[in-house]
Amino acid sequence: MPTRDAPERQEAGVSATWEGVATAPFGRDLELAVIEGNAIHKLVFPCRRIPGGWVKAETAERILVQPTHWRVWIR
């Protein structure tokens, strides 16, 4: 579900809206964010959802965050 306090970005052919983390797909490079109040904390590297958590897309190293939102990673 889109959030209204997350910023929009314009990329051709890609949704710019943040989605709730419960809907994050597996096996895709994603941009993650933790949104607290009006502050958005974005991770600066692509991540992938795996059963039981999240990993860095490039290294498969587990990351210890509890993201609240995601969107497709744009290279």
- Threshold 0.85, pTM exceeds: no
> What is each CA distance from 55 to 31, 42, 64, 68, in whole angstroms?
12, 15, 9, 15
Confidence (pLDDT) at 15: 57
More confident residue, 66 or 75: 66
**pLDDT beyond 50 at 74:** yes
Residues in Cβ contact with 27 at an 8 Å cutoff, skipping those fewer than 6 apart: 48, 49
The predicted-structure confidence for 3-37, as pLDDT tens digits, reads as follows 444 444 444 444 578 999 999 999 999 999 998 88
Q: Closest Cα partner for 72 from 38, 40, 48, 36?
A: 48
Q: Dihedral through CA 63, CA 51, CA 47, CA 40, nearest 10? A: -70
Sorted by where each begins, the domain ranges of the chain are 19-72
